[in-house]
Chains A and B, each alone.
Chain A
Amino acid sequence: MTPAMPASEGLELDALSDRLLAPVFRPARGLGWLLLATGAGSLTLFVAVAYTVLVGIGAWGNDIPVAWAFAIVNFVWWIGIGHAGTFISAILLLLEQPWRTSLNRIAEGMTLFALVQAGLMPLLHLGRPWFFYWLVPYPATMRLWPQFMSSLTWDVAAVSTYTIVSILFWYLGLVPDLAVARDRARTLVARRAYGVFALGWRGSATQHRHHRVAQMLLAGLATPLVLSVHSIVSMDFAIAKLPGWHSTIFPPYFVAGAIFSGFAMVLTLVLPLRRAYRLHAFIGPRHLDAMAKMLLCVGLIVAYSYAAEAFVALRTPDPYEHEMAAVTRPRGPYAPLYWLMLACNVLVPQILWSARARRSPLVLWVVALFVQIGMWTERFVVVVTSQHRDFLPSSWETYRPSLVDGAILFGTLCFFSFLFLLMVRFVPFLPIAEQKELVHDAHVPL
């Protein structure tokens, strides 16, 4: 790619800082109401969670054979969304893609808040959540260790690592900007608050050098995680015998799906933000274009995965896999969801072949929404459809979600939005330091 034009609206660096801090010190009108609404919505999550913990998993629609349902679907979906954040901030950083600078803060924030939702699910999903620590290897008085053959133990490691790295990465990038915010804050409280988290950043050359190194190191750390985390999540299914789960293509398939849904989510968040704060200069057409192309490209990989999975299943001598692919998914009780998934994830993105579509925020936003829905449905198809008809026909039963299931899904959406809006309100969501860097680099003659 050609290097990005410095998105400075022709402002000098000093003014640029003010411009980029504006959302924090002069919050958009109506933001407060949005926070209130999403905050209230989040309450449904907390109520539903409390109820589940008090009463038991019976509060959900799960049964035998469908012992995993909404909670796991949500888990895979949310953690998938997280991936785009890491992808943008880490991999694109290493690839020195300057256009990412306008997006990485938003993307990283998104990752973090998606992880909060995702992390809640497997915990809540346990029959006895208060014993979650038995999945962690530690010297117990019971002289027992976890079963390291089980992918769920790998999951614990993968997800917790991912969470820690994501937090550090997000926070590290934030430090200089917090310092700027501290220096320009009007009230004492704000100055103190930003001051604490700015960790005494003075912006000296040494600090900048260390900062750069640290960021690169973390990026290096995070890059393999983009691939590893969802691969391991996919193994939660792949290591099982279950027809529809027992498949070697799962790791790449899941990673692609994750980045797919992640980019969709970035678009879903960025486009309204761009409009609300008039960031067209910072998030220009070429940003949208790049994102759209990513979406299209990853979408094709996902489509290929579907095809490959179905093909293998249809060619295998294994009668169970075959019935799953040939009958249960396309024609079973949950067939509509299967077809919806294909429509959203394979058909809809094809519109992005047109350059005009790629540069139209509205089209992009709608496509993104479809992809979100499609990807959630994909997880439902994988998790529930595979379970409800496996080996012995005598135990083939269907599953219907309960109210509580619905409340939890809705609640996580609200809670996610709530946290994201909090970030928009209190933290510069366009990376000031890095923007300035770009402008500066552009000014000095090469």
Chain B
Amino acid sequence: MVGWGALLTVIGGPVLLMTWVRTPWVTLEGERVDQPVAFDHRHHVRDDGIDCRYCHYDAERSAHAGMPETAVCMGCHSQVWTESPLLEPVRRSWFERSPIRWRHVTLVPDFVYFDHHVHVRSGVPCERCHGRVDLMASVYQATPMDMGFCLDCHRDPERHFDVPRGLDVHPPVHCTGCHR
């Protein structure tokens, strides 16, 4: 009786833990994040056909994809929906010169030096990691974003996205590729 109990905890405990760390409770997949502005990617990407890189334009030239500065929003919204109450926070930010504080959705630890532009220039589609943002009312993390997730693709990229012909993609699988 006692023995069985012990055995169960000794075997079951670790198994339970190893399962748990793979669940969204830990990876935060699909966790809802409330943003200061009710920004709807479905509308901007699908209805208006705006490319990701129109707003997140640093993704092509910097490690950070970058959140668009208020000026980018106002580029259009000084012309359209100028009265919309939904855009009140944007207008306030613009006229008060105070930045919009967006919530961080896609989290990787600080010791991971992810570089957007080398991924983009190597033909990795945004949705490979960020999921179909164009179908999200409000953005959530769509993939586990743990080391395993990165490594699977780094170890053989062909299986995870169609690599553009001509550029030999050989992602690093050694530590300092990402940790410095």
Contacts and interface: CB of A to CB of B under 8 A. Distances in A.
Q: Do chains A and B touch in the complex (CB under 8 A)?
A: yes
A139 interface: yes
Given A143-B148, A143-B151, A138 B2 contact: no
Interface residues of B, number: 11
B32 interface: no
Nearest to A199: B2
Interface stretch (B14-22, B65-73, B85-93, B121-129): B14-22
B76 interface: no
A41 B148 CA distance: 47
A141 B148 CA distance: 5
Interface residues of A, number: 9
A307 interface: no
B146 A142 contact: yes
A351 interface: no
Given A141-B146, A141-B147, 11 more contacts: A138-B14, A140-B148, A141-B21, A141-B22, A141-B144, A141-B148, A143-B147, A143-B148, A143-B152, A144-B147, A196-B2
Interface of A: 138-144, 196, 199
A217 B51 CA distance: 71
Contacts of A140: 148
Contacts of A142: 146-148
Contacts of B151: 143
A212 B42 CA distance: 74
A139 B148 CA distance: 11
Contacts of A139: 18
Contacts of B147: 141-144
B8 to A, nearest CB: 16
Main secondary structure of the interface of B (DSSP, over half): helix
Nearest to A139: B18
Interface string B146-159: 11100110000000
Contacts of B22: 141
B98 to A, nearest CB: 39
Nearest to A144: B147
Nearest to B21: A141
A142 B148 CA distance: 5
Contacts of B146: 141-142
A52 B3 CA distance: 35
B152 to A, nearest CB: 8
Contacts of B18: 138-139
B159 to A, nearest CB: 15
Nearest to B152: A143
Contacts of A196: 2
A262 to B, nearest CB: 28
Q: Which 3 A-B pairs have the closest CB atoms?
A: A142-B147, A141-B148, A141-B146
Contacts of B144: 141
Interface string B113-156: 00000000000000000000000000000001011100110000
B151 to A, nearest CB: 5
Nearest to A197: B2
Contacts of B14: 138
A138 B19 CA distance: 12
Contacts of B152: 143
A139 to B, nearest CB: 7
A138 B14 CA distance: 9
A140 B148 CA distance: 8
Nearest to B175: A144
B155 to A, nearest CB: 9
A139 B146 CA distance: 14
20 contacts: A138-B14, A138-B18, A139-B18, A140-B148, A141-B21, A141-B22, A141-B144, A141-B146, A141-B147, A141-B148, A142-B146, A142-B147, A142-B148, A143-B147, A143-B148, A143-B151, A143-B152, A144-B147, A196-B2, A199-B2
Interface in B34-82: none
B128 to A, nearest CB: 18
Contacts of A143: 147-148, 151-152
B144 to A, nearest CB: 8
A105 to B, nearest CB: 21
A93 to B, nearest CB: 23
- Kindly name the residue among A140, A141, A142 whose own CB sees the greatest number of chain B CB atoms within 10 A: A141
A196 B1 CA distance: 10
A346 B151 CA distance: 56
Nearest to B173: A143
Contacts of A141: 21-22, 144, 146-148
A219 B54 CA distance: 73
Contacts of B21: 141
A199 to B, nearest CB: 7
A141 B152 CA distance: 11
A195 to B, nearest CB: 12
Contacts of B2: 196, 199
A116 B106 CA distance: 44
Nearest to B27: A141
Contacts of A138: 14, 18
Nearest to B149: A141
A138 B152 CA distance: 18
A11 to B, nearest CB: 33
Nearest to A164: B10
B45 to A, nearest CB: 31
B19 to A, nearest CB: 11
A444 to B, nearest CB: 34
B14 to A, nearest CB: 7
A196 B2 CA distance: 9
